[in-house]
Amino acid sequence: MINKTKILTATLAFGLFTSQYAFSQTNAMNPFFKAYTTPHQVPPFDLIKNEHFKPALLEGIKQHQAEINAIANSSSKPTFENTIVAMDKAGALLSRVSSVFYNLNSANTNEEIQNIAREISPEMAAHSDNITLNQKLFARVKNLWDNRASLKLNSEQAKLLEKTHKSFVRSGANLNDTDKAKLRKINSELSLLSLKFGQNLLAETNNYLLVVDKKEDLTGLPAELISAAAEEAKTKGQEGKWIFTLQNPSVMPFLQYADKRELRKQIWEAYTLRGDQNNNFDNKEVVKSIVNLRREKAQLLGYKDHASYALEETMAKTPENAYKLLNQLWKPALSVAEREAFDIQKMIDASGEKFKLAPYDWRYYAEKVRKERFDLDEQELKPYFSLEKVREGVFTVTNKLYGLQFKEITNIPKYHAEVAAYEVTEADGKLVGVLYTDFFPRASKRGGAWMTSYSSQKMEKGKRIAPVISIVCNFSKPTGDAPALLTFDEVTTFFHEFGHALHGLLSNVNYESLAGTSVSRDFVELPSQIMENWAAEPEVLKMFAKHYKTNEVIPDALIKKLQNAGTFDQGFATTEYLAASLLDLDYHTQTSELKDNIGTFEAASMKKVGLNDEIIPRYKSTYFSHIFAGGYSAGYYSYIWSGVLDTDAFSAFKETGDLFNQEKAMSFRKNVLEKGGTEDPMVLYKRFRGAEPGIKALLKKRGLDIQPDKKPI
């Protein structure tokens, strides 16, 4: 008689052995399971394959959970070191793998990476919940929090304890078991929905092409845009035609310069209907589900709505305070925008056309008004803003402010051929960090511009470990024999993202959880937005704005035109931004289930504030990735909040008569850039500036310091 049980057991044992053998073989080949031997321990991008991600992520979760269990189950009395510091240091493998994986999913994705992201998302959400809902672990944290007065902690340690305790409470540690189970389900669903939103948006952006086959339909377009469209057509097998895409360097200048109104309308509608076409990539129900789940989660945790939950740990503190700032700006911004619309309509009428200004007309006619009023054509500026020269300018400004040096590294792994890498050092040669730059759009990269990190600054045995930082943008590409020539808006974007990079690079804290950009959303934009101010200063422009052919420094007359037009179209720019910020808050202050169609809700939100028909929110709901696929839910207002800070902060330099005043620069570095999240943001700001900021400087900068009731003549 055959013992089937023995055969089955032997079969299972052999299967287990072979799977373990295969896994060990995979481990041996997986670069994540080895110490990095690359320069400055950057990720070995040249060795990393898609197949390495999932096993490394799962092993990272396993190791991190084991470390957390060891802390939670320790029989030792809780101390700051064996609990809070131990938690801060735990999860090294998971952090290392996930930073590469999620950064590539944004900057250089593919179908396989996107599939892995969908598969791993519930695992990551569950793992996060397994930590924050671990009752034994929370008991240790709470014990330390309750006895914090006797722990004799310094300010940074006290902040880390506070942040850790709040993280547990805000993640549901005080909930009963039934509500914890509900929270786990919500978190899992939200992680997948946010991922789906972003993947849908990328697909929608890539799926549309405006194909032009008649040369006469290109009238008005700059030569380099036509050249870029011809190259795009060639790469897509349509040589002899011109292809325009929904990537910003293609769609925005097309809207700005294309004479053919019908084509402007076509590409505008494609751009604004992304995620709203009732196809496989439709985001309307995704948005509704995200909004409802966020509200449900917030109320489960004891908050009135998601905005109240999200803003508790920001400078604004409450949605009421965020609304207050937005509403202060709304009336003057809308008033100026109405004047701008009046001027544009006058130009349309004067040209003999018989149509009413539409959103797809605004950029086209605003450019004509600017040229007529200020004799400034943006195409005059672009030859002075080659990417190489702008990069030199950013480096020079940073050197003059903080003494930093930048040296390109070529013998270092990169994740794409277009990426460059730099060693960033102090004036004395001491390493500050590594900076990656990735500037051009491609199908594998999401839109927009952002800063991120592959490893944050930390301390090990009293030694500062340098961070690895990256800035990712979508700038105009080189065309033909010409280098990449940037618009002035792209120049300021470069300065902006570099400010974020400096926040990460110059971080000098003891605990990784508090490093660099680990600050509230409405403070994190201060380091980035203050950098934009230097970009427009004549003294700075003359350092880098040099004609790409002749190396001629930008003429004073052109700088003067740029300055004269400095507040031009700011009514439009501010209004479209504020509209999106108000829409964000409206979604996230819902206290009951959102049942309306997303289009209906959005229209009602904009009608409530009186947005005119010629302008739409900067981001409509179905492609508002900041709030539905990024970390800015109920926080898109933060750019204008930080705008109040940055204009006031830059005034500190201007008041000295020296844009590179070393006393102010060192104070900003020591009190803001180096401090990360170690202290309350307003405390840090006042330590630099000496007082809280006011709104007047921002209004003046944007040309909004006018009587809002004054009507156009």
Quote the CA–CA distance of 524 and 528 in Å, as a whole number. Answer: 8
Q: What are 349's two structure tokens?
A: 């009428």
Read off the pLDDT band of 696 (50, 70, 90): confident
User: Among candidates 441, 444, 507, 435, which has minimal Cα distance to 471?
Assistant: 435
Rounded to 5 degrees, φ, ψ at 471 are -115, 135
Work out the burial of residue 692: count CB atoms within 10 Å of its CB; fewer than 13 is exposed, 13-18 middle, 19 or more buried. exposed
Distances (CA, A) of 567 to 333, 536, 652: 12, 12, 21
Residue 52: CB atoms within 10 Å: 19
pLDDT reported for residue 26 = 56
Burial 354-370 (b: 16+ CB within 10 A, else e): eeebebbbbbbbbbbbb
The pLDDT score that the predictor gives to residue 17 is 40
Residue 709 has pLDDT above 60, yes or no: no
Query: How confident is the prediction for the chain on average, in pLDDT?
Result: 94
- Name residue, tokens 């060192």: 666
Segment 574-606, tens digit of pLDDT: 999 999 999 999 999 999 999 999 999 999 999
Bridge partners, 422 (sequence order): 408, 435
459 Cβ neighbours under 8 A, 6+ residues apart: 465, 509, 510, 511
Domain boundaries, the chain: 31-174, 208-272, 284-376+572-628, 382-564+638-701
pLDDT of residue 705: 80
Beta strand pairing call for 463-465 and 458-460? antiparallel
Rounded distance between C-alpha atoms, residue 89 and residue 52, angstroms? 23
Q: Do 31-174 and 284-376+572-628 come out as alike in CATH topology?
A: no
SS3 470: strand
497 classed as catalytic: yes
**pLDDT at residue 203 greater than cutoff 90:** yes
Model pTM score:
0.93
| Segment 236-242 mean pLDDT | 97
Range 376-399 average pLDDT:
96
Tokens of 690: 């000496």
Q: What is the CATH number of domain 284-376+572-628?
A: 1.10.1370.10
User: CA-to-CA distance for 667 and 701, rounded, in angstroms?
Assistant: 24
- What digits encode the pLDDT tens for the residues 515-542? 999 999 999 999 999 999 999 999 999 9
SS (H, E, C) 538-562: HHHHHHHCECCCCCCECCHHHHHHH
pLDDT score, position 378 = 87
How long is the chain?
713
Q: Residue for token digits 């004269």?
A: 564
d(CA 225, CA 382): 12
Q: Are 659 and 653 in contact (CB under 8 A)?
A: yes
Q: What is the pLDDT of residue 2?
A: 29
Three-state secondary structure call for residue 351: coil
Q: Which two tokens stand for residue 284?
A: 């309307």
**Cβ atoms < 10 Å from Cβ of 431:** 13
**Domain 31-174, CATH class in plain words:** mainly alpha
φ, ψ at 711 (rounded to 5°): -95, 155
Q: Looking at 301-444, list the stretches that DSSP marks H as alpha helix, in order from N- to C-terminal side.
A: 306-311, 319-350, 359-374, 378-381, 387-402
Residue 66 predicted with pLDDT over 80? yes
256-265, 472-481, 588-597, 619-628, range with the lowest pLDDT: 472-481
Which distant-in-sequence residues (6+ apart) come within 8 Å of 178 by Cβ? none
Looking at residue 627, its pLDDT comes to 98
pLDDT value of residue 22:
46
Taking residues 159-183, what's their average pLDDT?
Answer: 98
Marked catalytic residue, from 189, 224, 497, 525? 497
Crossing angle (nearest 10°) for helices 681-689 and 521-535: 30
The pLDDT value given to residue 333 = 96
The residue among 261, 221, 262 whose CA lies nearest residue 351 is 261
Q: How many CA atoms lie within 13 A of 236 on its CB side?
A: 21
Quick check: 331 pLDDT over 80?
A: yes
Give the chain's count of helices (H) and strands (E). 28, 9
Report the chain's terminal Cα–Cα distance, integer Å.
104
Instruction: Mention every residue, 6+ apart, whose C-beta is less than 8 A from residue 543.
Output: 393, 396, 397
Q: Predicted confidence band at 28 (pLDDT cuts at 50, 70, 90)?
A: confident
Whether the CB-CB separation of 665 and 401 falls below 8 Å is answered with: yes
- Where does the pLDDT of residue 18 fall: very low under 50, low under 70, confident under 90, or very high at 90 and above? very low
Q: Is the pLDDT of residue 713 over 70?
A: no
Output the 3-class SS for 596-609: CCHHHHHHHHHHHH
Average pLDDT over residues 488-496: 97
> How high is the pLDDT of residue 274?
98
pLDDT of residue 712: 35
Flag whether pLDDT at 12 surpasses 70.
Answer: no
| Percent of the chain with pLDDT strictly greater than 90 | 93
532's torsion region: left (phi>0), alpha (psi -120 to 50) or beta? alpha
How far apart are alpha carbons 1 and 96 in whole angstroms?
54
Q: List pLDDT tens digits, range 167-177.
A: 999 999 999 99
pLDDT average, residue stretch 13-31: 55
Separation of alpha carbons 465 and 434, rounded Å = 11
Query: How far apart are the C-alpha atoms of 302 and 286, rounded to whole Å?
Result: 24
Q: In this structure, are strands 210-212 and 242-244 parallel, antiparallel, or unpaired?
A: antiparallel
**Cα–Cα distance list, 628 to 191, 274, 620 (Å):** 10, 14, 11
Retrieve residue 688's tokens: 């630099």
Pick the CATH number of 382-564+638-701 from 1.10.10.10, 1.20.120.340, 1.10.1370.40, 3.90.1170.40: 1.10.1370.40
**Mean pLDDT for the stretch of residues 182-209:** 97
Radius of gyration of the chain (CA): 27
Q: How confident is the model at residue 708 (pLDDT cuts 50, 70, 90)?
A: very low
| Dihedral of alpha carbons 647, 648, 651, 656, sign | negative
> What's the confidence (pLDDT) of residue 560?
96
Is residue 642 pLDDT above 50, yes or no? Answer: yes
CA distance 259 to 222: 11
Residue 24: its pLDDT value, please? 53
Judge whether 34 and 43 are in contact, CB under 8 Å. no
Q: Which residues contact 98 (CB under 8 A, 6 or more apart)?
A: 57, 60, 124
